[in-house]
Amino acid sequence: MPLIKNQENYDSILLIADLHAYTIPLSIQKIPFGEIKKRSWELVKWAVALGVDPKKTKIVFQSDLRAQHLELFYFLLTHSRLGELKLMTQYKFLMNKFKEANGTEPALFGVLVYPVLMAADILLYDAEYLSVGEDQIQHLELCSELKERVNRLYSLDIFPKKIKALSFNSNYLKIMDLQDPLKKMSKSTENKNGVLFLSDSPQEIHKKIMGAKTDSLNKVNIDRESQPGIYNLLNLFATLNDLPLEKAFEQLNHLDYKSLKETISKLVSDFISQKQQNYKEVNNNLDELKQLIKENTDTLREQANSKLEFIYSSLGA
């Protein structure tokens, strides 16, 4: 997780983007309204359990700063173009996913404009380095385009920072589904046997890893096209050991598939068991975490308000 690795060297923010949870109406998602806050807090607790230090990384809920985020969102929205928003890959994917039975496109405006809210989330704090997944790179490019467009339109350096993705090892941007290694592992997948959860027991982890889809070659290779299942398992091993994929291959290429899966099963089980213990400790010190988040929110509210005032004063308002 790049944020954990880089929190020693950067003034870091972990934004719990709970406003984005409403991009698609909760009635369509079949999620109770009150569930969002609960899930957001679970995300915070697991982030800390995984290694995010709330004394070094400012953890905040987007909804606690919604006035500032939505104000900049609307400003950027007026500088956005319909055509470029419709070109977003995620827009096309989600519109197709929620297409009605008769083929009619759903009227989901939130799906169209949420990348602009994402841009506001970034530009409000003059963020320079972003930890984003591979599927969000296009949205990061849109953010850079909006930043440059506003600066160019008004001949001002309103958004001065150049936006960059934090350095990733490109081999492990995504862990894929254990049952379908051609698609990203996702908690919303119907077949839960392909998904590893932080709440899984060692027995559940072992069953899922041992049942992971591979191939009939029984030889470990780095071949994403022909052996996506093995590639995914190597990727998982590399990620948890913070290794380049080639180093993981060197350590594992002598194993048959059963031994490979057993090795990775133990690694994942040990990792998740430790994080589950950390989670219990976070729960036992929740008041301290809540106080830190409140202080972080107050600090970032001042920063966000200053940025909005700077924008308006720069434009002569």
pLDDT at 173: 56
| Mean pLDDT, range 106-129, rounded to an integer | 94
For residues 113 and 95, the answer to whether their CB atoms sit within 8 Å is no
Q: Where are the domains of the chain?
A: 2-168+286-314, 192-279
| Mean pLDDT, range 221-247, rounded to an integer | 94
Q: Is the pLDDT of residue 31 over 70?
A: yes
Q: Is the pLDDT of residue 90 over 70?
A: yes
Query: What is the rounded distance in angstroms from the CA atom of residue 172 to the CA atom of residue 121?
Result: 25
| Mean pLDDT, range 308-314, rounded to an integer | 97
Quickly state the pLDDT bin for 222 (edges 50, 70, 90): very high
Residue 106 CB: number of other CB atoms within 10 A?
Answer: 16
Query: In this predicted model, what pLDDT tens digit does every residue of 166-210 receive, in sequence order?
Result: 755 554 457 999 999 999 898 878 899 999 999 999 999 999 999
| Mean pLDDT, range 27-37, rounded to an integer | 90
| Mean pLDDT, range 10-33, rounded to an integer | 92
Which carries the bigger pLDDT value, residue 5 or residue 92? 92
Quickly state the pLDDT bin for 132 (edges 50, 70, 90): confident
Does the domain at residues 192-279 carry the CATH identifier 1.10.240.10? yes
What percent of the chain shows pLDDT beyond 90? 78
Exposure of 116 in the CB half-sphere (CA atoms within 13 A): 22
| Mean pLDDT, range 116-143, rounded to an integer | 92
E-strand stretches of the chain: 12-16, 57-61, 129-130, 164-165
What percent of the chain shows pLDDT beyond 70? 97
Of 21-25, 31-35, 102-106, 263-267, minimum mean pLDDT range: 102-106
E-strand stretches of 17-86: 57-61
Q: Is the pLDDT of residue 53 over 60?
A: yes
Mean pLDDT of the chain: 93
| Mean pLDDT, range 20-48, rounded to an integer | 93
pLDDT at 1: 64
Query: What is the rounded distance in angstroms from the CA atom of residue 289 to the CA atom of residue 282?
Result: 8
Query: In this predicted model, what pLDDT tens digit does every residue of 245-258 receive, in sequence order?
Result: 999 999 999 999 99
Inter-residue long-range contacts of 76-85, CB under 8 Å, 24+ positions, other chains counted: 76/116, 76/119, 76/120, 76/123, 76/146, 76/150, 77/113, 77/116, 79/146, 79/149, 79/150, 79/153, 80/113, 80/116, 80/146, 84/142, 84/145, 85/112, 85/113, 85/115, 85/116, 85/142
Query: Would 2-168+286-314 and 192-279 be classified into the same CATH topology?
Result: no
Domain 2-168+286-314: give its CATH architecture: 3-Layer(aba) Sandwich (3.40)
For residues 231 and 263, the answer to whether their CB atoms sit within 8 Å is no
For residues 183 and 177, the answer to whether their CB atoms sit within 8 Å is yes
- Enter the pTM of the model: 0.88
- Of 3, 11, 55, nearest to 288 (Cα)? 55
pLDDT at 172: 47
